[in-house]
Structure 1
């Protein structure tokens, strides 16, 4: 049975004179109305058709321009082609081998990478360059629509089961994989985000992560795309984030903890408040109460601060407010604590698989927001996907538990479990306690040495200007209060952790463990 779902044209048809997208660039901004966005999509769809793009073609879209990413992706979907979202980083070549794309659409820098590193060969037959490209051979794709009336966006009819998009995972815990989104998947994600945000007609969304610019207009929101450094979000100038919030009256801020930290610190240093903000959604890594406290100083008292849990393959899954997050710190009798993720969202079903005697196991999720498959990766499907009465059940690779209230708790990645001699440690169980110590920005538990007899090492990043001795004493006190804290064999101070390229929030534990091993050389066999 197939289910028809609303298409992009239906989402964009209403209120053509209202703002769809505000694109910020170093002190300037470009405003695009919904009508202009429809015109742009129409023009691009015609240009794509003229270039030979056909229904079913897979088209890599690689650009840091929020308008180009949005309009090109919409136009491809309207044609029945499949946009493929992938970040320019190590491993792109293997990702494109999985996808075998027919089309490569990107800014000049992406095409230089494609030509130099032979991305997509021999599959790419239609290379199209967006933006200025005077020195690059190949066909230009004009993405800016001329002024004029609003043509109807001719859309190929599709049903909910048809492939709509492929979005690659960040690769922070292994080889990136292409998650398939059917039209029904995208519709489920929009429904879940609508339930989570409760968008109002006058809301303005600040998109702290580039692909969010794709979803904002479909949610009916004016979407502000700040000048984030998308190759290293944590290095973004905070003025480029706070300025647009104030200038455009952003009411919803959606960003990773790394980006939210920039906002909170800048507001704290300058004494700035953000009176228009009614909701902050943190995603990409657990929200710590210290960051929530800092954000609270900048927003109105009745603003909602949410930690949102999900993954590329299932977004969103659950959410929890900062007030409940502070209250949910009680360790279950004989069990693991970790970080509370809140109740699963309506329509989302969470299960714990392979649970031990304490209830700790792998979090698995089913529901309308779940990607049904990985593209051309039957091995990954066999490991992570199974069919149930509630649809595809996806193994997240995250360790967790369900409490008596039906709330999810996060204990870290299954692949990051520390296995010592006669014990195991879940990273989030230790880190959630240590991160709450005074003077600590964040901590990371890594295992050094051979599996099954690893030495648990807690790496500690202090807050700026905090004496090392003070921080170490506070962390030791936190570990003494933790029933498994005595298992930690070493504490190492490090300023700055290696992180994932997408959010700059997920810690690259393999690199950090290598650094810790070098520091402890001679102590560990």
Structure 2
């Protein structure tokens, strides 16, 4: 680390962000933050156990599975991802993990979970046997969560990022010692229960390589709200907000409505240029059965009723798959470009 400043030399790990909404940055994490994240995760899940690595270890989610294994003193199972993620490959890799004593855990992105619960096969049987399945890296459609939980999968939704050593809010509740607040984006407390998400605590990174160290609080690029029972609900990135006819529209809210409709497998909602409205809401949808996609009029009606007229998609395109960038994150810029 020759040439780095004093605080930067305390870093034990340098990991790149996914760059899904801009240029990738290198996050510097201390050993203390990595270990704290692992220990707090085990405390929330019910104790140390054996982990299955099913995510690339070039990203923080995969790296933290290795760190948790080191902290637990257990040898992780490792899934071969060289040819992509397949339910059969997951089942094979899980077999060796599930025979070991103690709790069994893994971490997945929503796309992987969807493939495992798509059919009643060995992949679903394997994922059911885990004591905890962390799901993060991207927004998970409520319909997918309901389907997985109904199938007996012990899902734990996570929110976090490289800057917080991975997931630090589980099922809407911060890990012990992690603090979350909602602000107007400048550090001032937001009015009501919605605002920019800021995070503090022992899992926080030192800072970005070549930048200034983080302070007590890290200001994320995400918007959130507090539910009636005090849980954090992530509304999506502030940069992704669609402004149509002067109205601010959360694409995440529209996606949740569309994803819950029969015949919709995956969906991404973006804003596209519109001469009259400034931006128009556009939805790229992966149908469950490409031969019989859902009725667009029924989809727009569902959004109109649940979110409002201004949020109703003006453009709907049925696509075979959504472009990905990073571990399971949809490339929203590529989706927007596809609408021309």
Of 115, 138, 159 in structure 2, the residue corresponding to residue 309 of structure 1 is 159
**Contact 1:430/1:485 (CA < 8 Å) preserved in 2?**
no
Q: Deviations over 1:305-358 (max 9, x none)?
A: 1111111101222111xxxxxxxxxxxxxxxxxxxxx11121111111117666
Of 176, 179, 183 in structure 2, the residue corresponding to residue 353 of structure 1 is 183
- 1:210 Cα shift? 3.1
Between the aligned partners of 2:196 and 2:204, the Cα distance in structure 1 is 16
**Contact 2:91/2:122 (CA < 8 Å) preserved in 1?**
no
**Contact 1:462/1:471 (CA < 8 Å) preserved in 2?**
no
Does residue 513 in structure 1 map to residue 336 in structure 2?
Answer: yes
Secondary structure at the aligned position of 2:208 is classed as: coil
Partner of 1:224: 77
Does residue 463 in structure 1 map to residue 288 in structure 2?
Answer: yes
Of 271, 274, 287 in structure 2, the residue corresponding to residue 447 of structure 1 is 271
Q: Structure 1 regions of 5+ residues with no counterpart?
A: 1-55, 59-98, 100-158, 321-341, 519-525
**Contact 1:208/1:228 (CA < 8 Å) preserved in 2?**
yes
Partner of 2:15: 167
Between the aligned partners of 2:225 and 2:17, the Cα distance in structure 1 is 24
**Contact 2:199/2:220 (CA < 8 Å) preserved in 1?**
yes
Partner of 1:255: 108
Does residue 393 in structure 1 map to residue 217 in structure 2?
Answer: yes
Q: Deviations over 1:253-298 (max 9, x none)?
A: 2111122222222x52569523632211111112223323443465
State the Cα RMSD in Å: 2.8
**Contact 2:50/2:69 (CA < 8 Å) preserved in 1?**
no
Q: Which has the higher contact order (CA 8 A, sep 6+)?
A: 2
- C-alpha distance 400-272 of structure 1, shift in aligned 2 (>3 A): closer
Of 180, 202, 206 in structure 1, the residue corresponding to residue 28 of structure 2 is 180
Between the aligned partners of 2:225 and 2:270, the Cα distance in structure 1 is 21
Partner of 1:487: 311
Partner of 2:170: 319
Between the aligned partners of 1:437 and 1:252, the Cα distance in structure 2 is 31
Q: Deviations over 1:110-162 (max 9, x none)?
A: xxxxxxxxxxxxxxxxxxxxxxxxxxxxxxxxxxxxxxxxxxxxxxxxx9x92
Q: More displaced, 204-213 or 434-443?
A: 204-213
TM-score of the pair, normalised by structure 1: 0.56
Q: Structure 2 regions of 5+ residues with no counterpart?
A: none
- 1:443 Cα shift? 1.6
Of 247, 262, 271 in structure 2, the residue corresponding to residue 423 of structure 1 is 247
Does residue 414 in structure 1 map to residue 266 in structure 2?
Answer: no
**Contact 1:343/1:408 (CA < 8 Å) preserved in 2?**
yes
Between the aligned partners of 2:34 and 2:330, the Cα distance in structure 1 is 28
Between the aligned partners of 2:252 and 2:55, the Cα distance in structure 1 is 24
Between the aligned partners of 2:124 and 2:28, the Cα distance in structure 1 is 42
Between the aligned partners of 1:281 and 1:350, the Cα distance in structure 2 is 20
Between the aligned partners of 1:260 and 1:182, the Cα distance in structure 2 is 30
**Contact 2:11/2:206 (CA < 8 Å) preserved in 1?**
no
Between the aligned partners of 2:284 and 2:179, the Cα distance in structure 1 is 35
- C-alpha distance 259-190 of structure 1, shift in aligned 2 (>3 A): same
- Where does structure 1 differ by over 4 angstroms across 4 or more consecutive aligned residues? 269-272, 355-358
Partner of 2:52: 206
Partner of 2:130: 277
Partner of 1:286: 139
- 1:486 Cα shift? 4.2
Between the aligned partners of 1:187 and 1:366, the Cα distance in structure 2 is 16
Between the aligned partners of 2:161 and 2:244, the Cα distance in structure 1 is 29
Q: Deviations over 1:458-505 (max 9, x none)?
A: 22221134612x3424422321321324433222222211111x312x
**Contact 2:183/2:190 (CA < 8 Å) preserved in 1?**
no
Matched positions, count: 319
Structure 1 residues 128-147: aligned runs within 5 Å:
none
Of 179, 183, 202 in structure 2, the residue corresponding to residue 368 of structure 1 is 202
- 1:450 Cα shift? 6.4
Secondary structure at the aligned position of 1:184 is classed as: helix
Between the aligned partners of 2:300 and 2:274, the Cα distance in structure 1 is 25
Between the aligned partners of 2:129 and 2:245, the Cα distance in structure 1 is 53
